[in-house]
């Protein structure tokens, strides 16, 4: 049995893309929704993900535009 692997070069730009207004609003709403869901988790689910009740409440009270750096592209 033989296996042939083609070496394909993929070009990608290393330049960050600008986020459109629609994309930004979509991310804004998604983050707000995720934070509401985090606040609604019960204590045993929070333990499963390694988050305390206090951390979950603090995160859920953050404003949606207070996003982690990896989400602000």
**pLDDT at residue 12 above 70?**
no
Cβ-contact 64, 31 below 8 angstroms: yes
**pLDDT at residue 73 above 60?**
no
Q: Establish if 6 belongs to a structural domain.
A: no
Q: Establish if 55 belongs to a structural domain.
A: yes
Alpha-carbon distance 28 to 35, whole Å?
Answer: 11
Q: Establish if 16 belongs to a structural domain.
A: no
Between 20 and 49, residue with greater pLDDT: 49
Q: Establish if 9 belongs to a structural domain.
A: no
Between 5 and 34, residue with greater pLDDT: 34
Alpha-carbon distance 45 to 41, whole Å?
Answer: 6
Mean pLDDT of 9-18: 61
Q: Establish if 11 belongs to a structural domain.
A: no
Total tally of structural domains belonging to the chain: 1
Mean pLDDT of 25-29: 88
State which residues form the domain around 40.
Answer: 21-71
pLDDT at residue 16, rounded to an integer: 60
């Amino acid at each position: 049995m033989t296996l042939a692997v083609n070496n394909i070069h993929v070009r990608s730009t290393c330049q960050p893309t600008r986020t459109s207004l629609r994309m930004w609003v979509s991310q804004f709403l998604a983050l707000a929704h995720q934070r509401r869901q985090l606040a609604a988790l019960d204590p045993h689910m929070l333990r499963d993900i390694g988050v305390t009740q206090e951390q979950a409440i603090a995160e859920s009270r953050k404003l949606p535009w207070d996003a982690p750096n990896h989400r602000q592209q």
